[in-house]
Amino acid sequence: MSRPRFSFRWSQWKPAIGNAIVVTVVSILLWMWAAARTRETTSVTFFVQFVSSDSMRLAVLPLDPTTVEVELQGSRRDLDRAKDRLSGKTVILRSGSPGIPATAGSHVIDFARALSRTEDIVATGVAISNTSPVSASIELLETETIEAKVTAVLPGVQVSGPIEIEPDRVSITLPKTLVPSLGADPHVEAYLSPAQTNGLQPGRRHAPEVPLRVPEALAAQARLARFEPDRVRVAFTLASRSSRTTLRLVPVQIAGPPADLERFIVAIDPADAFLRDVEVEGPSETIRALEDGRARALAFIHLSADELAMGLTRKRISLWYLPPNVNVDKVGGSADTTPLVRLSITPRAATGPALNAR
């Protein structure tokens, strides 16, 4: 029996194959188009910073960025692009832009309305459906620019000869309500921090660039002030980097042979438990560390075994625990740096504290 012959003719199958390819391509394109048009929702968190579009005329509060969670709608592709562009970033909202007033006063800003018109959102093709928080309150303050004299503040620096400042007058822009706080003769400070002086060699003339700051009376509003220029050059001859300060309270502690101290109860009179107004002198950075609590000062009374047995009632400060190269100059205004301290010593075997005569 003969087998049937199968004959493939391209001319017969060509139209069918072509149609199948066209259908497949069209199906893929339709799927891609549908995927691009499908609306999805996602959330992204970023920061919003309000700034003035005219800092010579207006200042904006708050100064710090606000964290905002925004619910976005769009295609998956656009949402992914928006998350990459916005997540964890800072979006700037300027006064006078859509949704942000440009007049002085208190205003409530609708985040959805204001953010929807920013380039950061428009460029992604997504829409904002909700925000948390919904709104924010801002304050636009009228500013004024005045000229102020510059004075040098060089803590922890001993100088010899004149101090020269270039320029010695600058412009300062701040809210009008704060201008009277600068007084009839406005001045600002060129503050040379101890960190800037650490690498300077004594005996030589130096001229570092020093940042400006407002006087202490305006310290709480310092961030509202703008300087032009914001740095000046301060020229001076550095004599030394040592400085001095007054420590208001220095604790007094007991030292002695541990075995002997265990046999007695030693109590410092409460009135003498702290030495007051202890003036110290030393390297500027070390003095600053003492002032802000990064370093400690202690006064010690050392008691011998005989003094413990005698029940001593008064003893002078025996030694000081101080950072390297720091010395005590005065205690309580007196040049006597080893003042007497009253105390009571009681054997531990005794019942109840025995207060010695003072």
pLDDT at residue 196, as a whole number: 81
Residue 26 has pLDDT above 90, yes or no: no
DSSP string, 17-44: HHHHHHHHHHHHHHHHHHHHH--EEEEE
Per-residue confidence at 31, pLDDT binned at 50, 70, 90? low
**Distance from C-alpha of 303 to C-alpha of 260, rounded to nearest angstrom:** 9
pLDDT at residue 155, as a whole number: 79
The answer to whether 86 and 120 have CB atoms below 8 angstroms apart is: yes
The answer to whether 25 and 66 have CB atoms below 8 angstroms apart is: no
Please state which CATH class domain 242-347 belongs to: mainly beta
pLDDT at residue 67, as a whole number: 96
Beta carbons within 8 Å of 237's beta carbon, 6+ residues apart: 159, 160, 161, 203, 204, 205, 206
Task: Give how far the C-alpha of residue 65 lies from the chain's centroid of Cα atoms, to the nearest Å.
Answer: 14
Q: Judging by beta carbons within 10 Å of its beta carbon (0-12, 13-18, 19+), is residue 232 exposed, middle or buried?
A: buried
Cis geometry, peptide bond prior to residue 167 (ω within 30 degrees of 0): yes
Residue 1 has pLDDT above 60, yes or no: no
Number of Cβ within a 10 Å radius of residue 315: 18
pLDDT tens-digit readout, 34-88: 555 567 899 999 999 999 999 889 999 999 999 999 999 998 889 999 999 999 9
| DSSP assignment letter at 220 | G
Per-residue confidence at 33, pLDDT binned at 50, 70, 90? low
Tell me the average pLDDT across 117-136: 93
| DSSP assignment letter at 273 | S
pLDDT at residue 118, as a whole number: 93
Whose tokens are 């309580």? That residue is 332
Helices (H), 132-224: 194-197
Residue 122 has pLDDT above 50, yes or no: yes
Tell me the average pLDDT across 14-41: 65
Lowest mean pLDDT among 12-26, 148-162, 185-199, 281-295: 12-26
- Every domain of the chain with CATH number 2.170.120.30 lies at 242-347
**Distance from C-alpha of 3 to C-alpha of 9, rounded to nearest angstrom:** 19
Residue 192 has pLDDT above 60, yes or no: yes
pLDDT cut 90: percent of the chain above it: 67
Note if the pTM is more than 0.85: no
Tell me the average pLDDT across 30-37: 58
Per-residue confidence at 350, pLDDT binned at 50, 70, 90? low
Whose tokens are 């202490």? That residue is 216
As a CATH number, domain 146-240 is 2.170.120.40
pLDDT at residue 147, as a whole number: 96
The answer to whether 331 and 277 have CB atoms below 8 angstroms apart is: yes
Lowest mean pLDDT among 120-124, 145-149, 157-161: 157-161
- Every domain of the chain with CATH number 2.170.120.40 lies at 146-240
pLDDT at residue 6, as a whole number: 52
The answer to whether 173 and 226 have CB atoms below 8 angstroms apart is: yes
Q: Judging by beta carbons within 10 Å of its beta carbon (0-12, 13-18, 19+), is residue 127 exposed, middle or buried?
A: middle
pLDDT tens-digit readout, 276-308: 999 998 877 788 899 988 999 999 999 999 999
| DSSP assignment letter at 197 | H
pLDDT cut 70: percent of the chain above it: 87
